[in-house]
Structure 1
């Protein structure tokens, strides 16, 4: 049996989810290179994922290209603003690439990757792991099978917990929009991708509102958690990888945002992203209204309900979670790269255009939020998008 040689560019927490999946498929995959500017990141990921120590270590992705001309696949999980730079050389070499979401943080970078993907007929997987979860896969199956008839409207939300809130507001590059693309791009590009996937039509206009109502500077609090008078603050008790005060940390990301989208087929979407949430029905919620009925559920619960208007009956569907993260999506998603390596003709649905479209929705939403106006999406040559 052929063993496929895979390299990792970036060894943070997202890369670790791929590595864990590949560690369970050592009969088919050899991880031959780990690359990160931080040697400590490499050490931590290798320890967390129990990868066999057959990999070489590098600090620059160009070294991987030079030393491993026979790579079969690569996982690129660098900071968002570096995705174009670090993924493009592998795309141009025709190597199957699993690129973390968001695909890019700007329209220009997205179009550059689209062009390269077409030119080199690339096998490119964008990190929309939610499509691979048992929950959302079942939702898609039900909706595409006509369970609620034509989709009229979708209400959805992402209510992020304390850990995710801490990450977006305190960690390194994520708290700065110029590096992460903004909170919506970093956290909820998943969700906007799902909306377009379920609806199967082009988004044509966006209107968005939001800001920061919770995590604003407080002169009564210190810059660091140590010695803080807010003894009941949950953020001071989280693992001490960042001890900056979550209120006073330098940042420009929002902590709440509402996005309204209209699609060419008439379907409308209302999506809310909020941080600092916990308790029952936190996480991700979905409510689809169709001509024949409704579908709803909470991703964390894993149960989907479908109400039939004529029968006046509700049927429930329970989905199983394998514990790999993202509601069971991480492992399934990681193995999409294996499919691409095995089959030169295989192209996943989470492709470059899906990444481009979700990114465009996030960018348009943030422009709308800042400028206080509705944006129309116009599709030109090659389906490239401009805003009016």
Structure 2
């Protein structure tokens, strides 16, 4: 049986991917590293890791001789590059959390080294591994729409998810994480490029941080929500409503390890999760639209917005023979045939696992790849292209210019 180490035993590195092994087997975890002792202790007990294979930092683990066949890298965005480079040179095969890196040059360097060392590497674009998008891919490859003409797609982040992850949370500030369009939406840019089956040629983008900033702060609102804010009753983002309820599932369980009221209150005092959403140090956009022209002639409009109640992905795909309307959360794909005027509905079985079944789907394929039982259905080159589009979108947004993708890549090599 192949063995695996984990660096970053947080929500993704401990609760998204490893549970597949508890349920289906096929891989043995032998080492773990995390900055938070409580996470190490939890992972150690769950997967029977010996004390001498528990490390306080990813750097410490990666300074050892190779400890396993593979490694899951699920640390913060800015740490991925050095960890991935070290893991490649040590001979690990890698499951790498997205984004690959918040630097385009670093993404391209990881791609180059992975090819040079013949590393098996899968970037966690988990949507490719969901029954929902697999069915869409099957329909499009079977030419049910004829020639695809254009696509409208939306990433409905959800106002509450935006507030938790991108205003108060780890991905709130570009200087310490990544641009929003990279961190959140490289998923989308990957999946739609895969469905359209072409690389992008031109791109333009617009967006900014319109609402979650100090200009919209209610009068007399304190920096910390716990400090007797006079606007509590009228604020959807009040921390008492969000984190100090009887519900200790996500997102509450992301603010700390002690889920008692006292423990959660302490975490809110000591971390950015207690910030007023209008007085945080967030810099990432809360809405952005991208227009893409692909090399095969397909055009796409993609919108990411915080200002929705639902947290889901919706899309329309228009072709010469018909139209598809789809909603990932509802597991619903509707095809309208132009010639016959008929409608056909494909209902995808609801998935109980994360990201519509994608978290377990990618682990299934990763283990199969390690055992040479299947080919890599998402080589790193495809993942890097989605990152290129995200970086180009941010440049376009900041310069108000249309970007030629091939020229953009040449400029950044």
Q: TM-score, normalised by structure 2?
A: 0.86
Task: Find the counterpart in structure 1 of residue 35 from structure 2.
Answer: 37
Pair 1:250-2:246 in alignment = no
Task: Find the counterpart in structure 2 of residue 320 from structure 1.
Answer: 349
Within 1, Cα distance between the matches of 2:162 and 2:69? 33
Change (3 A) 1:20 1:46: farther
The answer (yes or no) to whether the contact 2:237–2:277 under 8 Å persists in 1 is: yes
Task: Tell me by how many angstroms 1:69 deviates.
Answer: 2.5
Change (3 A) 1:181 1:254: same
Q: TM-score, normalised by structure 1?
A: 0.91
Task: Tell me by how many angstroms 1:67 deviates.
Answer: 4.5
Change (3 A) 1:224 1:70: closer
Task: Identify which of 233, 253, 262 aligns with 2:293.
Answer: 262
Within 2, Cα distance between the matches of 1:277 and 1:153? 24
Pair 1:199-2:189 in alignment = no
Task: Identify which of 73, 76, 85 aligns with 1:76.
Answer: 73
Pair 1:330-2:329 in alignment = no
Change (3 A) 1:187 1:44: farther
Within 1, Cα distance between the matches of 2:410 and 2:368? 30
The answer (yes or no) to whether the contact 1:13–1:45 under 8 Å persists in 2 is: no
Task: Identify which of 278, 282, 287 aligns with 2:309.
Answer: 278
Within 2, Cα distance between the matches of 1:46 and 1:223? 37
Within 2, Cα distance between the matches of 1:103 and 1:361? 13
Task: Identify which of 50, 55, 60 aligns with 1:58.
Answer: 55
- In the TM superposition, structure 1's runs of 4+ consecutive aligned residues that sit over 6 Å from their partners are none
The answer (yes or no) to whether the contact 1:148–1:292 under 8 Å persists in 2 is: yes
Task: Tell me by how many angstroms 1:62 deviates.
Answer: 3.8
Task: Tell me by how many angstroms 1:347 deviates.
Answer: 4.1
Within 2, Cα distance between the matches of 1:60 and 1:196? 35
- Equivalent positions of 1:1-388 (< 5 A) are 3-15=1-13, 16-26=15-25, 28-43=26-41, 50-54=46-50, 56-67=53-64, 69-161=66-158, 162-172=160-170, 174-217=171-214, 218=217, 220=219, 221-226=221-226, 227-228=228-229, 229-236=231-238, 237-239=241-243, 241=255, 242-279=273-310, 282-343=311-372, 346-378=374-406, 384-386=409-411
Within 2, Cα distance between the matches of 1:139 and 1:194? 10
Q: Deviations over 1:170-229 (max 9, x none)?
A: 113x11113322111111110011111011112011110111222111262210111222
Within 2, Cα distance between the matches of 1:95 and 1:259? 36
Task: Tell me by how many angstroms 1:65 deviates.
Answer: 3.6
Within 2, Cα distance between the matches of 1:23 and 1:356? 31
- How many residues get paired? 375
The answer (yes or no) to whether the contact 1:125–1:336 under 8 Å persists in 2 is: no
Match of 2:17, SS state, is helix
Q: CA RMSD in A?
A: 2.0
The answer (yes or no) to whether the contact 1:6–1:33 under 8 Å persists in 2 is: yes
Within 1, Cα distance between the matches of 2:340 and 2:47? 53
Change (3 A) 1:371 1:30: same
Match of 2:233, SS state, is coil
Match of 2:325, SS state, is strand
| Unaligned ranges ≥5, structure 2 | 245-254, 256-272
Within 1, Cα distance between the matches of 2:395 and 2:383? 18
Task: Find the counterpart in structure 1 of residue 266 from structure 2.
Answer: none
Match of 1:18, SS state, is coil
